[in-house]
Amino acid sequence: MPQIFHRSTNTIARASIFGAVFIAGLLGYLAYEVNQSPYYTEVNVARQQPVPFSHKHHVTDDGIDCRYCHTSVENSSFAGIPPTHTCMTCHSQIWVNSPMLEPVRASYRTGESLEWTRVNSLPEFVYFDHSIHINKGVGCTTCHGPIGQMPLTWRAHTLYMRWCIECHNHPQNHVRPRSEVFSATYQPPSTFAPVKFEGVEYHDQDALGRRLVKEYKIKPPKIITDCYTCHR
């Protein structure tokens, strides 16, 4: 019986199979990289706002406490977006004719809220409570990054579930004394810059973190990362 396929067909078939596997792997890798890239996560990408609000100017230069604008952050799941009259408390007296602040003045005159763009937004199926984290010693900069150095606000982390779980699995690496939660310049303790808590100086984060986990009654990871905790 004559041979139907040329001998090279076997080689071509093997090469095609290996090539398909290689291409599939490459496409998977590219998809992963895009998923991690700022193009998709918007990490380190400053968002356009109706007014170019600078946390660096207000927090670092002027020393305004986070809670002056985000009034509900200690008691509510939502940090709160400041109403226009909060802005006008100062800007009815300073920079009163600045063209940049005209949207704020217009909002105050008409009573229509400014439409701020959410920078750190989560899907609707995710429940996140600011007050719980604040009261357990999680600082603003832990999640929001160096907010006191941002002339325009950007997202500092992906906010992916695995990022949250990493923190929940090792809370001792991230908690700080409650008195330092709203500090934009707080740094974890080190040999040359210890942190004092209840009269004791700590020179490394692990020792301080384990003390705070016990002191603030932070629940074990298996309880914290129960699906229902965040997906309600």
Q: Is residue 84 part of a domain?
A: no
Structural domain boundaries enclosing 225: 119-230
- The string over 110-143, giving b where at least 16 C-beta atoms fall within 10 Å of a residue's C-beta and e elsewhere, is eeeebeeeebbeeeeeeeeebeebbebbbbbbbb
Give the whole-angstrom CA distance, residue 102 versus residue 107.
Answer: 8
Residue whose tokens read 């004394």: 177
Q: Is residue 141 part of a domain?
A: yes
The model's pTM: 0.82
Under a CB-based contact definition with an 8 Å cutoff, are residues 137 and 177 in contact?
yes
| Run of H or E residues at 21 | helix 8-36
- The string over 74-95, giving b where at least 16 C-beta atoms fall within 10 Å of a residue's C-beta and e elsewhere, is eeeeebeebebeebbeebeeee
Same domain, yes or no: 32 and 123:
no
CA angle 189, 193, 199 (to 5 degrees): 70
Q: Is residue 140 part of a domain?
A: yes
- pLDDT tens digits in sequence order for the chain, 232 residues long: 456 666 777 777 778 888 888 888 888 878 877 777 787 788 999 999 999 999 999 999 999 999 999 999 999 999 988 999 999 999 999 999 999 999 999 999 999 999 999 999 888 899 999 999 999 999 999 999 999 999 999 999 999 999 999 999 999 999 999 999 999 999 999 999 999 999 999 999 999 999 999 999 998 776 556 788 888 8
Q: Is residue 3 part of a domain?
A: no
Q: Is residue 100 part of a domain?
A: no
How many structural domains compose the chain? 2
Q: Is residue 179 part of a domain?
A: yes
Residue whose tokens read 């590219």: 30
Q: Is residue 71 part of a domain?
A: no
